[in-house]
């Protein structure tokens, strides 16, 4: 039997959508029924919607193709907005399929009725409400197309329950026979002015490259980083990764480009020294928050040279510039990982230990400043790996992104390097990791506080008051992360020294399913 729902699924699959992160409710049950006849669509259940949307972000970052999320009306969708906000900043293609009441039931303002469009727009580059069964197939096809606009974006399709259920002729979308992946391959820019850009680079006194992350040909893909290193070499320039890349290649002989610092003072120290800032996939540098005494935009437009933005092929123009400037070929670089001695855990010790143990090809989802910054520094000397960071600042992103990356890349190990405060927002992810038996190693830096807020509060030398201390403390009671992991069926250990961490991580990397390691700071 063909229904609106079966045909939507058929179109999505034809266009390369193969995974659905789902938390359905009553108004999505005809999609659930339709899934019975689409066994190739993998369904992954999340126990809270922000798990689903964060996983779709991780999946989309790794594959470049959208996953489907299946969410329950406005309130269910709302639970997933925070991670869609991060995905929006990461330029991740995602398709949100949201059920709604029967179209004829909406006017009665039943308990679950809400303004889904108003909720969806802030995190969706495109929103469409299906207006009838005959409209469903075209809407689904357009959703896939639109998810690749603007370098990748979330799109939202609202699907009233009656249009899911009604039977239809089997419909095939126009042009669906074409190779779905071909349409979304990034084409190198043809209008790129190599000579003009090369002249501008030559004329500059001091150049800084800002590399932005994403797919293989992004500014933080391997080719672009190697080309940037050649340019730095020949120009005496320096290069930085954007502060929070969606996806960056790292280690294994790649150059050790630091991330542009988070706070305005060190960021300005980097940028003010240059008379030319080259944006290769990174956005114009903006302070993360507004800080008195600092401009929001850290570089005036006339010092900027934009090679391309998120979603563009940046590898080709950077290589062309390096060739035009006769830069020598790239030689793989060796970087030392800082040494560690066995002893009480410190962020630096954790960073070095984790970097040393990373197997080649691992994906590392990093959230939380406590270990995130030291790890990035140490990881230049690690085996070749992929780093995913929190792009939008909505916390509770690191663990679901790790889940999605593991679903996307079954042949690769995933490590999630997280902080205790942020991981709580989407803690239910642990259940799905166990349910799907995914080989994710979850490292929790447990310092029992919201450290970033204390750092912000102490800027300017202020002491922490009682309220500030209370509202940034996770200390009373301390969360028992081992019990928490066990509750969700995840293997777990608590470690207090670098030696214990190394042993636990070695064991974890050898296991088939997920493991959580609570690193007591």
Chain residues 231-290 in contact with a copy of itself, contact rule CB under 8 A: 244, 286-290
Helix runs in 302-439, H state only: 315-324, 347-357, 369-378, 398-408, 420-423, 429-435
Lookup: tokens for 393: 């600042």
Rg (Cα) of the chain, in Å, rounded? Answer: 24
Binding flag, residue 173, a copy of itself (CB under 8 A): no
Q: Shortest gap between Cβ of 13 and a copy of itself (angstroms)?
A: 14
Binding flag, residue 107, a copy of itself (CB under 8 A): yes
Q: Shortest gap between Cβ of 160 and a copy of itself (angstroms)?
A: 9
DSSP state of 104: G
Which residue in the set 14, 32, 496, 507 belongs to the binding site for a copy of itself (CB under 8 A)? Answer: 32
Instruction: Say if CB 372 and CB 387 are below 8 A apart.
Output: no
Nearer to a copy of itself, 118 or 331 (CB): 118
Sole window of 131-139, 324-332, 338-346, 477-485 interacting with a copy of itself (rule: CB under 8 A): 477-485
Instruction: Say if CB 137 and CB 104 are below 8 A apart.
Output: no
Q: Residue 9: enclosing H or E segment and its boundaries?
A: helix 4-14
How many CA atoms within 13 Å lie on the side-chain side of 367? 31
Q: Shortest gap between Cβ of 319 and a copy of itself (angstroms)?
A: 29
Q: In whole angstroms, how far apart are CA 211 and each of 37, 186, 284, 306?
A: 44, 17, 11, 11
Sole window of 29-37, 57-65, 129-137, 139-147 interacting with a copy of itself (rule: CB under 8 A): 29-37
> Under rule CB under 8 A, which residues in 350-379 are in contact with a copy of itself?
none
Q: Shortest gap between Cβ of 45 and a copy of itself (angstroms)?
A: 6
> Under rule CB under 8 A, which residues in 77-106 are in contact with a copy of itself?
78-79, 81-82, 85-86, 89, 101-102, 104-105
**Per-residue binding letters, 9-28, with a copy of itself (x by CB under 8 A):** -------------x-xxxx-
Of 362, 353, 385, 352, residue with least CA distance to 252: 385
Binding footprint of a copy of itself, residue count (CB under 8 A): 90
The CA distance from 421 to 442, in Å, is 14
Binding flag, residue 474, a copy of itself (CB under 8 A): yes
Binding flag, residue 511, a copy of itself (CB under 8 A): no
**Per-residue binding letters, 296-335, with a copy of itself (x by CB under 8 A):** xx--------------------------------------
Instruction: Say if CB 461 and CB 454 are below 8 A apart.
Output: no
Q: Is 386 helix (H, G, I), strand (E, B) or coil?
A: strand
Binding flag, residue 162, a copy of itself (CB under 8 A): yes
Binding flag, residue 115, a copy of itself (CB under 8 A): yes
Nearer to a copy of itself, 256 or 420 (CB): 420
> Under rule CB under 8 A, which residues in 121-160 are in contact with a copy of itself?
121-123
Q: Shortest gap between Cβ of 253 and a copy of itself (angstroms)?
A: 30
The CA distance from 253 to 232, in Å, is 16
Q: Shortest gap between Cβ of 104 and a copy of itself (angstroms)?
A: 6
> Under rule CB under 8 A, which residues in 478-497 are in contact with a copy of itself?
478-484, 486-489
Nearer to a copy of itself, 271 or 427 (CB): 427
Binding flag, residue 468, a copy of itself (CB under 8 A): yes
Helix runs in 73-160, H state only: 73-79, 81-90, 116-120, 133-146
Q: Which long-range contacts (CB under 8 A, 24 or more apart) does 497-504 make?
A: 497/342, 497/343, 497/344, 497/345, 498/340, 498/341, 498/342, 498/343, 498/345, 498/349, 498/350, 498/352, 498/353, 499/342, 501/345, 501/349, 501/350, 501/353, 501/354, 502/353, 502/356, 502/357
Q: In whole angstroms, how far apart are CA 294 and each of 126, 129, 240, 350, 455?
A: 34, 43, 20, 33, 18
> Under rule CB under 8 A, which residues in 374-433 are in contact with a copy of itself?
391-394, 396, 421, 424-425, 427-428, 431
Binding flag, residue 435, a copy of itself (CB under 8 A): yes
Q: In whole angstroms, how far apart are CA 479 and each of 206, 402, 424, 475, 501?
A: 49, 22, 10, 8, 19
Nearer to a copy of itself, 203 or 437 (CB): 437
Nearer to a copy of itself, 189 or 454 (CB): 454
Q: Shortest gap between Cβ of 405 and a copy of itself (angstroms)?
A: 20
């Amino acid at each position: 039997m063909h229904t609106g729902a079966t045909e939507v699924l058929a179109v999505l699959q034809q266009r390369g959508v193969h995974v659905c992160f789902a938390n359905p409710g009553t108004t999505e049950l005809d999609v659930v029924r339709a899934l019975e006849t689409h066994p190739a669509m993998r369904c992954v259940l999340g126990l809270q919607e922000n798990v689903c949307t964060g996983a779709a972000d991780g999946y989309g970052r790794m594959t470049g193709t959208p996953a489907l999320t299946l969410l329950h009306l406005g309130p269910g969708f709302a639970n997933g907005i925070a991670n869609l906000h991060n995905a929006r900043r990461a330029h991740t293609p995602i398709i949100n399929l949201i059920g709604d009441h029967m179209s004829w039931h909406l006017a009665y303002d039943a308990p679950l009725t809400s303004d889904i469009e108003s909720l969806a727009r802030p995190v969706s580059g495109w929103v469409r409400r299906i207006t009838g069964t005959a409209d469903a197939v075209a809407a689904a096809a357009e959703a896939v197309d639109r998810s690749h606009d603007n370098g990748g974006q979330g799109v939202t399709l609202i699907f009233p329950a009656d249009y899911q259920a009604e039977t239809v002729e089997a419909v095939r979308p126009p042009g669906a026979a074409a190779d779905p992946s071909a349409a979304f391959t990034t084409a190198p820019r043809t209008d790129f002015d190599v000579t003009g850009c090369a002249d501008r680079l030559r004329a500059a006194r001091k150049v800084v490259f800002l590399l932005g992350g994403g797919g293989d040909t992004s500014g933080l893909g391997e080719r672009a980083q190697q080309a940037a290193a050649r340019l730095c070499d020949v120009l005496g320039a320096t290069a930085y990764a954007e502060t929070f890349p969606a996806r960056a290649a790292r280690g294994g002989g790649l150059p050790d480009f630091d991330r542009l610092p988070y706070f305005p003072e060190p960021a300005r120290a980097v940028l003010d020294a240059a008379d030319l800032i080259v944006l290769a996939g990174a956005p114009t540098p903006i302070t993360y928050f507004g800080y008195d005494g600092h401009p929001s935009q850290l570089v005036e437009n006339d010092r900027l040279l934009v090679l391309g933005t998120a979603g563009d092929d940046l590898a080709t123009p950077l290589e062309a510039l390096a060739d035009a400037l006769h830069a020598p070929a790239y030689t793989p670089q060796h970087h030392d990982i800082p040494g560690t001695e066995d002893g009480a855990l410190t962020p630096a010790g954790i960073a070095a230990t984790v970097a040393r143990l990373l197997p080649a090809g691992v994906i590392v989802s990093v959230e939380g400043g406590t270990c995130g910054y030291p790890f990035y520094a140490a990881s230049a000397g690690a085996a070749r790996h992929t780093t995913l960071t929190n792009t939008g600042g909505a916390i509770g992103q690191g663990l679901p992104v790790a889940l999605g990356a593991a679903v996307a890349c079954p042949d690769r190990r995933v490590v999630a390097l997280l902080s205790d405060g942020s991981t709580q927002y989407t803690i239910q992810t642990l259940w799905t990791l166990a349910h799907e038996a995914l080989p994710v190693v979850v490292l929790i830096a447990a310092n029992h506080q919201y450290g970033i807020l204390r750092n912000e509060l102490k800027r300017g030398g202020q002491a922490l008051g009682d309220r500030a201390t209370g509202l940034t403390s996770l200390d009373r009671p301390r969360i028992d992360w081992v019990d928490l992991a066990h509750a969700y069926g995840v293997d777990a250990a608590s470690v207090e020294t670098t030696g214990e961490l190394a042993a636990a991580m070695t064991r974890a990397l050898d296991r088939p399913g997920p493991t959580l390691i609570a690193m007591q700071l």
